[in-house]
Amino acid sequence: MPRLFGLWLVLVVSAAHAGEDTIKIGILHSLSGTMAISESVLKDTVRMLIEDQNKKGGLLGRKLEAVIVDPASDWDLFAEKARELLTKDKVAVVFGCWTSAARKSVLPIFEQLNGLLFYPIQYEGEESSRSIFYTGATPNQQAIPAARYLMSKEGGEVRRWVLLGTDYDYPRTTNRILSAYLTAEGVSPDDITTIYTPFGYSEWRGIVERIKAFGSEGKKTAVISTVNGDANTYFYRELVKQQIDANAIPVMAFSVSERELLGAGIAPVGHLAAWNYFNSISSAENEVFMKMWGDFNGQQDRITNDPMEATFIGFRMWAQAVAQAGTIDVDAVRQAMYGQRIKAPSGFEVVMNTNHHLSKPAMIGKTNSSGTFDVIWQSINAVRADVWSKYIPDSTKRTADWTFPWVCGGCIEPTFKTW
């Protein structure tokens, strides 16, 4: 009996050490609520990447382990779950958030506890945190190229604008930047109208009628949409119901991808989206990415999207930084992140800059009858992210640079900090 007890004790201790020996990866995405339509697939993207890394032997001789939580599209709950991941679960890094409301909710938690968050969504800029690496687009990598395209002959020479968004930080700040840009390009304030709706909004009939009326006054009109979450399902269904012709009034979306259209079961043919990656891109790297996704989900689908690619980029760069630093220590990994580069599924080489943002391509896609996007325009080179927009007066002189002598996310003069 003592011998059996001793064997049992050894097994229990060994199992405990095995648990401690994994590197824990936090996944902080809404799996329920209004944002689940967009965020759930990102949880699975991180799981896929963890599984792939473990097949290669893990990192630093240790396996990776996913710690998944559901903040349920509740911004306060995002902060609570972030604190749990860092203090209770002791994760080495977190991949998560979609909305700026969620990101701003967790930001002070990550800064206070010296955590590390990889944020994979396009956003309004005007922020650079020492604790966050932003792998989505800033306005100069998405919003400005989209407006410039629509104003061009190729894009239809649009002269009237509906700025339509969900009512929170990202759409409001992005529309402030777009309004200033359009005004600088000679657009009259009378030719710009702005509309905001709540999260989960479903009663689109009146708003679509307003858009039709605004577009019937003799000038080519377009809608730039920063609507987020499942509200897009109802919006696009109403566009189809009211027969909004994409040639007459195109909708350029910043937060609708192949996955949202797949989930909505609609194909708003001819309408547009601006991203940094599309599933239809032809590159060797994209073929590998789509095959990885298909293999992971049992070939149920091979539909990938921009936030999935941004998650892929962030994960691969983090893994490279850990291998380079030889540790999961946050300070060491952060330093090793600067200059990390990979050949992304977009077919472009993307690089992490010292402003904690990527240089990446800008692209425009047009929806086809299968509910995916054909790429109709892309930048020649990767575009470096402008964290602080020159179209916001208070931001024009600000610099984000986390290396000496700046060491800041938004200062006007060089500074120096000891952490």
DSSP for 225-275?
EE--TTHHHHHHHHHHHTT--TTTS-EEESS--HHHHHHHT---TT-EEEE
Chain centroid offset of residue 143 CA:
14
Q: Are 115 and 94 in contact, with CB atoms under 8 Å apart?
A: yes
Please name the helix (run of DSSP H) or strand (run of DSSP E) that holds residue 336, with its range, or none.
helix 330-337
Whole-angstrom distance, CA of residue 281 vs CA of residue 284? 9
Give pLDDT, residue 8: 46
Strands (E), 104-214: 117-119, 132-134, 160-166, 192-197
Mean pLDDT for each 10-residue chunk of the chain (419 residues)? Answer: 46 43 97 94 98 98 98 98 98 97 98 98 97 98 98 97 97 97 97 97 96 94 95 91 93 90 79 96 97 91 93 98 98 98 98 98 95 95 97 95 93 81
Whole-angstrom distance, CA of residue 180 vs CA of residue 149? 16
Q: Are 294 and 301 in contact, with CB atoms under 8 Å apart?
A: yes
Whole-angstrom distance, CA of residue 303 vs CA of residue 418? 45
Tell me the pairing of strands 117-119 and 132-134. parallel
Tell me 62's DSSP state. Answer: B
- Summarised one tens digit per residue, pLDDT across range 159-182 is 999 999 999 999 999 999 999 999
Give pLDDT, residue 163: 98
- Under DSSP, is residue 2 helix (H, G, I), strand (E, B) or coil? helix
Give pLDDT, residue 14: 39
Q: Are 146 and 274 in contact, with CB atoms under 8 Å apart?
A: yes
Whole-angstrom distance, CA of residue 130 vs CA of residue 334? 8
Please name every residue paired with 352 in a beta bridge, in sequence order, or none if there are none. 358
Whole-angstrom distance, CA of residue 414 vs CA of residue 308? 35
Q: Are 292 and 269 in contact, with CB atoms under 8 Å apart?
A: no
| Residue 112: how many other CB atoms lie within 10 Å | 11
Whole-angstrom distance, CA of residue 120 vs CA of residue 311? 5
